[in-house]
Amino acid sequence: MILLVCAIVLITRYHTSYPNLLSIVSAEGGLFEWGSFFIAFTISGFALLVYFHSRGNRIFRPARRRFIMVIAIVAYLVAMEEISWGQRILGFESNAFFSANNNQQETNFHNLISGEYLNLGIYTLIYVFFIFLPLVVYFKPDLGRNSPSIRGKVAIYLPSIHNMLMFCFASSLQAYFLPRTLADTISLWSALLIILILLVSRKKYRNGFLLWHFSLVLIACAVFAISYQIFEYNNMQYEIREFVVLYAFFYWFFNWTTNLKNKVALQLK
């Protein structure tokens, strides 16, 4: 995925025969938006499968099963929002309310909100819960030493470093060198710097594949930064970002539920 997107960006930026390649693949109703629909729909179906198959399993306590059902519902809503509740397929016209209030005059709710605020909310949650807080736990594995039960509860939700790098890659697709994206850029490079320090200082987290993954994300950041002229603040690359975020979330959700099924809690020593 990283190499594919880098290739698309480089071709768009430097190959005069394909100046619109990025806008084509990331357009509304394009390749990556449909990819986001299928991943979100898969997350919803998988969550429902886990919910019903976990009935009676004491590891899947009621609170966890409710959380899994919430994920199933939210993922379904995201999937349907991606295709404007079938409008992209059936071609029906938006009613007066959506025509007047929707940023794209389509039948969906997420475009009733400014994309700037929507992205701010989504990426704030990603940076806090899937990158920075997990990194604190990786750096401080003795947190909760006096409360083993709390430590185990936290560990089971912890994304892997690979998973964090997936979310970092999603954030690397942004319009660089704009005042409005400065916070996003600072958050991204801070996260990568902290992960690098972790890999250098904690040998047990370091392996060849992980270093290769980190290097690829770093290369992608550089490629996108030097190709900043082709990125736009309002759209283009954001359909790819959404696709990668959903993919990374599915990766986390699959690992978490698999760990629960196997009654395995991640141990940080």
Write the pLDDT tens digit of every residue in 9-55.
999 999 989 998 998 888 877 889 899 999 999 999 999 999 998 88
Lowest mean pLDDT among 74-88, 119-133, 140-154: 140-154
Domain that holds residue 15: 2-261
**pLDDT over 90 percentage in the chain:** 52
> What pLDDT, on a 0 to 100 scale, did the predictor assign at position 264?
40
Per-residue model confidence (pLDDT) at position 152: 62
- pLDDT higher at 31 or 5: 5
For residue 48, being part of any structural domain is answered with yes
Structure-block tokens of residue 32? 């990556």
Tell me how far apart the alpha carbons of residues 10 and 230 are, in angstroms, rounded to a whole number: 10
Query: Based on the structure, what is the number of domains in the chain?
Result: 1
Rg of the chain over Cα atoms, rounded to whole angstroms, equals 20
Tell me the pTM. Answer: 0.89
Percent of the chain topping pLDDT 70: 92
Residue 268 within a domain: no
Locus of tokens 């619109």? 20
pLDDT at 159: 94
Per-residue pLDDT band for 211 (boundaries 50, 70, 90) equals: very high
**Structural domain includes residue 70:** yes
More confident residue, 71 or 28: 71
Does residue 266 belong to any structural domain of this protein?
Answer: no
* pLDDT recorded at residue 268: 41
CA dist 262 → 38, 212, 257 (Å)? 27, 29, 9
Residue 233 has pLDDT above 80, yes or no: no
The full 3-state SS of the chain, as one line of letters, equals CHHHHHHHHHHHHHCCCCCCHHHHHCCCCCHHHHHHHHHHHHHHHHHHHHHHHCCCCCCCCHHHHHHHHHHHHHHHHHHHHHCHHHHHHHCCCCCHHHHHHCCCCCCCCHHHCCHHHHHHHHHHHHHHHHHHHHHHHHHCCCCCCCCHHHHHHHHHCCCCHHHHHHHHHHHHCCCCCCHHHHHHHHHHHHHHHHHHHHHHHCHHHCCHHHHHHHHHHHHHHHHHHHCHHHCCCCCCCHHHHHHHHHHHHHHHHHHHHHHHHCCCCCCCC
Is residue 72 domain-resident?
Answer: yes
The per-residue pLDDT for 155 is: 76
Confidence of residue 266 (pLDDT cuts 50, 70, 90): very low
Quick one: tokens of 101?
A: 């209030």
